[in-house]
């Protein structure tokens, strides 16, 4: 028995040392990780934030876009002329702000009581583009010409659909093949963009991209440069007429611009998402497309639409979460051309809840050296 006790004590000592070493290595590894960048919260930038606390400034502004789209209203409907600065944006200058707070609380209570806190009911669920929810069924809608069907956020797996591997293999071949894609490690592009608005001003655009996930896009507007930067860890927007001249991105907004960067070098885009669903085929501009949706571990969603004939990506809709509903951003790609053996879109349309850009590239220079500073924190907008 004595030998057995000695053996057990010996084993316990080894286990204790091993545990201490593992903890030390883990602690050192954690210490070696750079601290996550601090993203300013809405209540730190705006006065009188009551309900939408604890979210980033970018998400806070995204919720304003949800309100606008859901109710069919503009900024001026809720923010009076007395809101003379971004700091005072949430002050109680008009009664509608108080109503909006009550509606957000009601919506959260419904979701908590009936759906376990999942965001099933949103502003858009009831309002659908009207400032007052409709209570009476419309006979014109019932018996008239049906409106265009809106695709659901969540794609349902279609029986008999091709596999995700088949779809992405076809996509990679359509782009030029895995070898050509691997050989493209960077590019610099130039072109123009026309934004949303009656003036339709054409503005110069520059894009710098480096594999696998670094990208900078600069739109030279009349009011100053609009710059979006993302690298492996961080992302920023520096643009005029924003609550902050330099806005750090977080959560779904950061994931979204990182996905944009990864799509510049799409050989491994399938590995970006944890799960995939292949939906039923549909049509975009009279072209049959295959619908595929990816989901990340943190709940992010992106829906891809591939041309059934060419295999090329013609549309992407990515979503970021907010407290009042998903924030969609849609890209429509066109005019694919050969660049160093790789098919790349020279035209795309980017639309989100409070903006629109129509980009048309004039040149793409492949595999050019790009200094690392291009993907660092940009200068604040002036």
For 9-62, the pLDDT digits (tens) are 544 444 444 444 444 444 444 444 455 568 899 999 999 999 999 999 999 999
340: left (phi over 0), alpha (psi -120 to 50) or beta: left
For 255-296, the pLDDT digits (tens) are 999 999 999 999 999 999 999 999 999 999 999 999 999 998
The per-residue pLDDT for 381 is: 94
pTM over cut 0.85: yes
Distance CA 113, CA 250 (A): 29
State yes or no: pLDDT of 226 exceeds 70.
yes
CB contact at 8 A, 130 and 71: yes
The CA distances from residue 222 to 195, 203, 378, in Å, are 12, 8, 19
* 257-263 long-range contacts, CB within 8 A, separation 24+: 257/215, 257/228, 257/230, 258/213, 258/230, 259/302, 259/318, 260/215, 260/230, 260/331, 261/209, 261/212, 261/213, 261/214, 261/215, 261/230, 262/212, 262/213, 263/313, 263/316
What element of type H or E holds 60?
helix 57-71
For 200-218, the pLDDT digits (tens) are 689 999 999 999 999 999 9
The per-residue pLDDT for 9 is: 52
| Whether residue 250 sits in one domain with residue 358 | yes
The per-residue pLDDT for 216 is: 98
State yes or no: pLDDT of 242 exceeds 80.
yes
The per-residue pLDDT for 45 is: 93
- For residue 88, being part of any structural domain is answered with yes
Distance of CA 168 to the CA centre of its chain: 21
Mean pLDDT value across the chain: 88
Strands (E), the chain: 186-195, 202-210, 214-221, 224-230, 235-238, 247-248, 275-278, 282-284, 287-295, 301-307, 313-320, 327-339, 342-352, 355-366
Among 75-79, 153-157, 268-272, 364-368, which is the least confidently predicted range?
A: 75-79
The per-residue pLDDT for 24 is: 44
State yes or no: pLDDT of 378 exceeds 70.
yes
- For residue 317, being part of any structural domain is answered with yes
Question: In this predicted model, which residue has the larger pLDDT, 258 or 134?
Answer: 258
For 292-324, the pLDDT digits (tens) are 999 987 778 999 999 999 999 999 999 999 999
The per-residue pLDDT for 11 is: 43
CATH of the domain at 182: 2.50.20.10
CATH of the domain at 123: 1.10.468.10
| Whether residue 323 sits in one domain with residue 208 | yes
For the chain, first and last CA: distance in Å? 80
| Whether residue 61 sits in one domain with residue 182 | no
Share of the chain above pLDDT 90, in %: 70
| Whether residue 337 sits in one domain with residue 367 | yes
- For residue 9, being part of any structural domain is answered with no
The per-residue pLDDT for 12 is: 46
The per-residue pLDDT for 31 is: 46
> Tokens 């091709």 appear where?
162
The per-residue pLDDT for 16 is: 44
Q: Quickly state the pLDDT bin for 83 (edges 50, 70, 90).
A: low
| Whether residue 344 sits in one domain with residue 197 | yes
Q: Six-digit token pair at 41?
A: 């919260």
Distance of CA 112 to the CA centre of its chain: 25
CB contact at 8 A, 252 and 241: no
- For residue 349, being part of any structural domain is answered with yes
| Whether residue 134 sits in one domain with residue 257 | no
- 359 bridge partner residues: 193, 348
The per-residue pLDDT for 7 is: 44
What is the DSSP-derived secondary structure letter of residue 246? S
- For residue 368, being part of any structural domain is answered with yes
Question: In this predicted model, which residue has the larger pLDDT, 335 or 138?
Answer: 335
- For residue 75, being part of any structural domain is answered with yes
State yes or no: pLDDT of 195 exceeds 60.
yes
The CA distances from residue 13 to 8, 16, 22, 56, 343, in Å, are 9, 5, 14, 48, 61
- For residue 81, being part of any structural domain is answered with yes
The per-residue pLDDT for 81 is: 64
The per-residue pLDDT for 137 is: 87
- For residue 203, being part of any structural domain is answered with yes
Query: Which three-class secondary structure state does DSSP give residue 52?
Result: coil
What residue numbers bound the domain in which 295 lies?
164-375
The per-residue pLDDT for 235 is: 96
Q: Six-digit token pair at 163?
A: 């596999």
Q: How many domains are contained in the chain?
A: 2
Torsion 20-22-26-29 (CA) sign? positive
State yes or no: pLDDT of 71 exceeds 80.
yes
Query: What average pLDDT does range 157-177 have in this prediction?
Result: 97
What crossing angle do the helices spanning 251-263 and 57-71 adopt, rounded to 10°? 90
| Whether residue 279 sits in one domain with residue 187 | yes
Residue length of the chain: 382
Query: What average pLDDT does range 114-139 have in this prediction?
Result: 90
- 338 bridge partner residues: 343
| Whether residue 226 sits in one domain with residue 293 | yes
């Amino acid at each position: 028995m004595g030998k057995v006790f000695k053996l057990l004590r010996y084993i316990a000592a080894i286990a204790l040392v091993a545990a201490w070493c593992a903890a030390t290595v883990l602690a050192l590894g954690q210490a070696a990780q750079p601290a996550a960048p601090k993203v300013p919260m809405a209540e730190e930038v705006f006065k009188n934030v009551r309900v939408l606390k604890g979210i980033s400034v970018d998400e806070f502004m995204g919720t304003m876009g949800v309100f606008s789209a859901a109710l069919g209203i503009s900024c001026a409907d809720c923010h009076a002329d007395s809101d003379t600065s971004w700091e005072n944006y949430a002050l109680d200058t008009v009664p509608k702000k108080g109503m909006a707070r009550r509606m957000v609380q009601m919506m959260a209570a419904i979701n908590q009581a009936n759906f376990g806190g999942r965001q099933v009911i949103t502003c858009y669920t009831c309002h659908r583009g009207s400032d007052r929810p409709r209570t009476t069924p419309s006979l014109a809608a019932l018996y008239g010409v049906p409106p265009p069907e809106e695709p659901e956020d969540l794609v349902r797996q279609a029986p008999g659909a091709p596999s995700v591997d088949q779809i992405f293999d076809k996509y990679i071949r359509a782009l030029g093949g895995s070898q050509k894609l691997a050989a493209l490690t960077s590019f610099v592009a130039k072109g123009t963009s026309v934004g949303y608005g009656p003036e339709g001003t054409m503005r110069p655009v520059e894009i710098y991209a480096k594999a696998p996930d670094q990208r900078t896009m600069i739109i030279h507007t009349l009011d100053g440069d609009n710059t979006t930067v993302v690298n492996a860890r961080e992302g920023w927007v520096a643009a005029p007429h924003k609550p902050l001249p330099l806005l750090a991105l977080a959560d779904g907004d950061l994931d979204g611009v990182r996905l944009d960067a990864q799509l510049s070098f799409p050989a491994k885009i399938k590995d970006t998402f944890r799960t995939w669903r292949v939906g039923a085929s549909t049509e975009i501009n009279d072209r049959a497309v295959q619908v595929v949706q990816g989901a990340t571990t943190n709940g992010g969603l992106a829906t891809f639409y591939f041309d059934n004939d060419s295999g090329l990506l013609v549309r992407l809709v990515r979503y970021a979460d907010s407290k009042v509903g998903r924030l969609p951003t849609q890209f429509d790609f066109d005019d694919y051309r050969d660049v160093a053996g790789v098919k790349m879109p020279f035209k795309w349309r980017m639309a989100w809840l409070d903006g629109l850009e129509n980009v048309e590239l004039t040149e793409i220079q492949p595999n050019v050296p790009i200094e690392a500073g291009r993907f660092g924190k940009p200068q604040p907008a002036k």
